Amino acid sequence: MNAVTAFSPGKVIVSGEHSAVYDQPAVAGAIDLRVHATIEKKESKSIDHCVQLFADHFHKNVHDVVPQIEATLPIGAGLGSSAAFAHAVFRGLAMYFGVEISNDEMISLIQESERFIHGHPSGLDAATVVHGGVIEFQRSGEKITYASLPVNMLKDKHFFLIDSGKPQESTKEMIEVVRQNIGTHPHLKKVIQHMGDVARTCITYFKEEKFAPELLTANQRYLEEIGVVSEQAKAIVSDVENMGGFVKVTGAGGITQGSGMLLAYHADEEKLQAFLHDKKWPFFQVKLGVFTNV
């Protein structure tokens, strides 16, 4: 068969990172930064982990199939790159072999690949990149549920992803940091619940087709309290807030140096863009709430 190409969007968490791991609700959206996977026939001495998962699940011979990856989505920056990589590869393999994969089955496959990397992922990244748009997400034990939220009010809005520096810690390590912090400081259990409350409020606003940027700030304060934001990232957050913007970490975070990408919004997007240029911080301008099938 000729080569085929599939893509996956990346994702940002609007509200609820880390608290989603503790069965609290979260809100996340797909963004227009992507991973493209081209599946072609080619001899290979090793088999990619995702390709092997696909082979085992669908009983396909994949020894002469190789995925070639291209991406506009930054890797290791809290934008769901590992889930997007797996999604693009699985979509490409499904096209190549003529296999139908339901959304739930695709999420399950991505979760299996994510466990190999992150240990115990919440499922939020997988659900968001597969479903697209903006979703409300809830995990209860091993069961995950998700549903679409309205996105019409986002069509004329631009968001910015500010690079605070690549985290030295992995997502798996940051999840463990939070677990240890909660173990040492039991009051942080309440903070996790408060983060869930912010997500619930965010869901309510979205259902009313409203976007409330002040909730980004509220979520950021709780992320700082549970100890996943570096001083380097806090300085950027402070500067953006001082010029009237709203900003938060949008991934697992990082504490040694950078904390990955920061999701930022300002009612005057040109003012924020000029500010970021003046600061000489690396950034991306993105649309939030894009769909996988577009």
Contacts of 88 (CB under 8 A, 6+ apart): 6, 7, 8, 34, 35, 36, 37, 69
Q: Is the pLDDT of residue 83 over 70?
A: yes
- Would you say 50 and 83 are in contact if contact means Cβ atoms under 8 Å apart? no
Domain 4-150 has CATH 3.30.230.10: yes
- The Cα 211–Cα 234 span in angstroms is 24
The pLDDT assigned to 48 comes to 87
SS3 call for 89: helix
Decide if pLDDT at 294 tops 60.
no
Helix axes 171-184, 214-226, angle to 10 degrees: 70
Q: Which of 27, 22, 25, 23 is nearest to 182 (CA)?
A: 22
Band of residue 118 on the pLDDT scale cut at 50, 70, 90: low
**What are the residue ranges spanned by the domains of the chain?**
4-150, 153-286
Antiparallel, parallel or unpaired: β 246-249 and 283-286: unpaired
Closest CA to 128 of 167, 160, 87, 99: 87
Query: For all residues of the chain together, what is the average pLDDT?
Result: 93
E strand or H helix at 55: helix 49-58
Higher pLDDT pick, 129 / 144: 129
Architecture of domain 153-286: 2-Layer Sandwich (3.30)
The reported pLDDT for the residue numbered 266 is 97
Cβ(74)–Cβ(261) under 8 Å?
yes
Q: What is the pLDDT of residues 155-213, one digit of tens each?
A: 999 999 999 999 999 888 999 999 999 999 999 999 999 999 999 999 999 999 999 99
The whole-model pTM stands at 0.89
> What is the amino acid identity at position 282?
P
